[in-house]
Chain A
C-alpha cells in the first residue's frame, strides 16, 4: 500500500511520506545524493509512469484512429482511455479535453483560433506575473490583429491588484488569461473571484494551470473557467504532452488550429471540413505514449493525495523561507498569504547563477535566471533570481540542508 499525504498533518509527518515515496523515483537510485528543488521547471517521473509508457510500446504500439488491424484498435483504445481518465481527473468531458504538446501549445492554440476572431478595439487582460508562455502568444496576436493588451499589476507582496483588475475589465475585454500559481513568486491567485468578475462582465477566462496541476486537484466545472491549460511533465508525467480544456461552446465556435490528418472529416481539392471535438484540434499523429504516461501520472498523484501534497509543499516553502530569511543579504520575492511550494530569492552581492552553481556543488538543484518571466523580474527590479520549488519526494531534511548550505554561500561567493 502506497503511503499518502495527509491534510492538516504536521510537516514532519508528511515528510516521512515524501521520504517513502522517493523510492518510487528511479532517478534517485542513480543520483542518491541529489536534492532536487527544481520541480517548477519539471518534476521527476515515478516508475509507474515510465512503466506505462514502456508498456504501451511493448504491447500496443501502433498509430491511432482509422486502423482496421487489432493492434491499431488497441492503441486507439489506450489513447482514448487516457483522454477519458484525464477528463475525469479535471472534471471535464472527453470531447472538451484536447491533447496538446504542453501548456505553451495549449495557450497558443487559443491565441491562434479564438484570438483570430478578435481585432482592433478588443482587449485582453493578462498580468505582470505571467510566464512568457501566457504573454508572448498574446503579444503576437496583438501584432497580428491589433488587439490591445492590459496588465494587472503585481504588488510588492507578489499579489494581483484586484481593484485594478476590476477597473481594467470593460465592454472591450474579450478574454482574461491568467496563471493560477505564479511560477516565480508561488502566489496562488484568487481565481474564483477572478472568474466570477469576468463572467459577470460576459468575458471568458483562460487559466494557466501549469504550476497548479501538480499541486491541487483541478475541477474545471467548479473553476468555471472557459479554458484551462497544463502540461504533463510538471505533474510527474512525460515531456511533450499537455492538455487544453475548453468548454464545448467555446471550442465549437473556434476555427481549427493546425491543419493535417485527424483534424478533418473530409478533404477535397477545393477545401476541407473540420472534424468533431476534440479531434478538430489534434492535427497529425498525437503524442500517444505520452498521453498514456500522463494518465499514469495523474493516477499516481491522486493516489498519494494531491491536495494534501500541495499543502505539504506550501509547508516546505514556509519552512524554507523561515530558514533563509535571517541569512544576511537574502531577499525573498513576494510574501503572498497563499503560496504554493515555490520560493524565489536573491543573495546580495552574488549573481543568481553563482548561487545556483554553489548549491549544485552540494548536489542541490535549484533554478536561476528570470524563470521565463522577464516583466515580473523587472517589476521587482532584478535581472535574475534563484528559485527553489518543492515536490512530492522532498523532505524536511532536504529543506534544512538547502538552508544550511545557503547560509554559507554569502561568504564563499
Chain B
C-alpha cells in the first residue's frame, strides 16, 4: 500500500459499508448481479418535480466494496439531472476500466476511496455494480418521457 491515503480510503469504504445511509428494502425491481462473487443489488431512482434526482436507494448483498459503492453512488447523484447523473456515472466507470486517470475521482466526493480499487480488476466489478444498476434505472426512467412525445 504505497498510497499515503490508503488508510483513509479504507475508512471511508468501511464507514459506508457498516453504516449505509441509502440502504433500504426495495420491492419489485430486478437485481443486477455479479455472478463471479454472488454480489447482487438493485437501485431505485426517483425524480422530483423539477426533473432532478430526488431520491436514491439500494438493497442487496455483497462485499464491502460493492455495498459501500452503492451508498456513495446514491449520495453523489442526488440533485443531478438524469443526464448529469449518467455522465457522472460513465466517468466513474471509465476510471474503473482504466480509460481515465484515477485522479479524476478527486472531484467525486467519497468515491475517491475507490482509487485503489481501480487497480484491482476483480474488485473493479464489485465497485461498478451499483453504478451499472443505476444506468439501467436511468434508462428505464427515460422511457416514459420519450413515449409522451408520440
Our verdict on whether A and B bind, yes or no, reads: yes
What residue of chain B has the Cβ atom nearest to residue A378's Cβ? B38
List CB contacts (< 8 Å) of A348-379 with chain B.
Answer: 351-354, 357, 361, 368-370, 374, 377
Closest 5 CB pairs of A and B: A383-B38, A351-B63, A353-B63, A384-B38, A354-B64
Contact B63 A354 (CB under 8 A): yes
Indicate with 1 or 0, residue by residue over A306-329, a CB within 8 angstroms of chain B CB atoms: 000000000000000000000000
What residue of chain A has the Cβ atom nearest to residue B64's Cβ? A354
Contact A370 B64 (CB under 8 A): no
Task: Indicate if A413 sits at the interface (CB-CB under 8 A).
Answer: yes
Task: Indicate if B126 sits at the interface (CB-CB under 8 A).
Answer: yes
Knowing that A351-B64, A353-B126 are A-B contacts, what are 12 other residue pairs whose CB atoms are under 8 Å apart, sorted by A's residue number? Answer: A351-B39, A351-B63, A353-B122, A353-B123, A354-B63, A354-B64, A357-B123, A361-B1, A369-B37, A370-B36, A383-B38, A384-B37
Contacts of B37 in A (CB 8 A): 351-353, 368-370, 383-384
Indicate with 1 or 0, residue by residue over B41-83, a CB within 8 angstroms of chain A CB atoms: 0000000000000000000011111000000000000000000
Residue ranges of B at the interface with A (Cβ–Cβ < 8 Å): 1, 35-39, 61-65, 122-123, 126
Contacts of B126 in A (CB 8 A): 353
CB A370 to nearest CB in B, in angstroms, measures 7
Query: What's the Cα separation between A357 and B37 when bound, in Å?
Result: 14
Contacts of B1 in A (CB 8 A): 361
Contacts of B62 in A (CB 8 A): 351
CB B124 to nearest CB in A, in angstroms, measures 12
Contacts of A369 in B (CB 8 A): 36-38
Contacts of B39 in A (CB 8 A): 351, 383
Contact B64 A377 (CB under 8 A): no
List, sorted by A's number, 29 A–B pairs whose CB atoms are closer than 8 Å.
A351-B37, A351-B39, A351-B62, A351-B64, A352-B37, A352-B63, A353-B37, A353-B63, A353-B64, A353-B65, A353-B123, A353-B126, A354-B64, A354-B65, A357-B123, A361-B1, A368-B37, A369-B36, A369-B37, A370-B36, A370-B37, A374-B35, A377-B38, A383-B38, A383-B39, A383-B61, A384-B37, A384-B38, A413-B64
Contacts of B65 in A (CB 8 A): 353-354
What residue of chain A has the Cβ atom nearest to residue B117's Cβ? A357
- The CB with the most chain A CB atoms within 10 A, among B64, B65, B126, is that of B64
Indicate with 1 or 0, residue by residue over A335-355, a CB within 8 angstroms of chain B CB atoms: 000000000000000011110
CB B37 to nearest CB in A, in angstroms, measures 5
Contacts of A413 in B (CB 8 A): 64
What residue of chain A has the Cβ atom nearest to residue B18's Cβ? A413
Query: What's the Cα separation between A159 and B94 when bound, in Å?
Result: 45
Contacts of B35 in A (CB 8 A): 374
Contacts of A377 in B (CB 8 A): 38
CB A305 to nearest CB in B, in angstroms, measures 35
CB B128 to nearest CB in A, in angstroms, measures 14
Query: What's the Cα separation between A214 and B45 when bound, in Å?
Result: 52
Query: What's the Cα separation between A352 and B38 when bound, in Å?
Result: 10
Query: What's the Cα separation between A357 and B62 when bound, in Å?
Result: 14
CB B51 to nearest CB in A, in angstroms, measures 37
Query: What's the Cα separation between A353 and B39 when bound, in Å?
Result: 10
CB B73 to nearest CB in A, in angstroms, measures 18
What residue of chain B has the Cβ atom nearest to residue A382's Cβ? B38
CB A186 to nearest CB in B, in angstroms, measures 21
List CB contacts (< 8 Å) of A164-200 with chain B.
Answer: none
CB B20 to nearest CB in A, in angstroms, measures 14
CB B127 to nearest CB in A, in angstroms, measures 11
What residue of chain B has the Cβ atom nearest to residue A355's Cβ? B63
Contacts of A384 in B (CB 8 A): 37-38
